[in-house]
């Protein structure tokens, strides 16, 4: 469990570095990525 969880954090961390936010949990990381996508889509409308 611990190893797979650490790997998940590592992969998400690479994506998070592109975002202005620095989430503490993978759940907030997922939310931050979704927010980023929604914001970029909203700008096109």
Encode pLDDT of 12-45 as tens digits. Answer: 555 555 555 555 556 677 788 888 888 888 887 6
Q: Which domain holds residue 40?
A: 2-14+24-44
- What integer pLDDT is reported at residue 13 of this predicted model? 54
Q: Quick check: is 9 in a domain?
A: yes
Tell me, yes or no, whether 10 lies in a domain.
yes
- Let me know if residue 34 belongs to a domain: yes
- Closest alpha carbon to 21 in 8, 11, 35: 35
Phi/psi of residue 18, each to 5°?
A: -80, -15
Sign of the alpha-carbon dihedral angle for 21, 25, 28, 29: positive
Cβ proximity of 19 and 32 under 8 Å = yes
Element (H, E) at 7: helix 2-16
Q: Is residue 19 part of a domain?
A: no
Q: What is the number of domains present in the chain?
A: 1
pTM, rounded to two decimals: 0.38
Instruction: Give a yes or no: residue 31 inside a domain.
Output: yes
In a domain, 6, yes or no: yes
Asked if the structure places residue 8 within a domain, the reply is yes
């Amino acid at each position: 469990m611990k190893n797979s969880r650490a790997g998940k954090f590592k992969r998400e961390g690479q994506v998070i570095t592109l975002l202005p936010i620095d989430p503490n949990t993978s759940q907030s990381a997922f939310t931050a990525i979704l927010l980023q996508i929604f914001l970029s889509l909203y700008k096109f409308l």
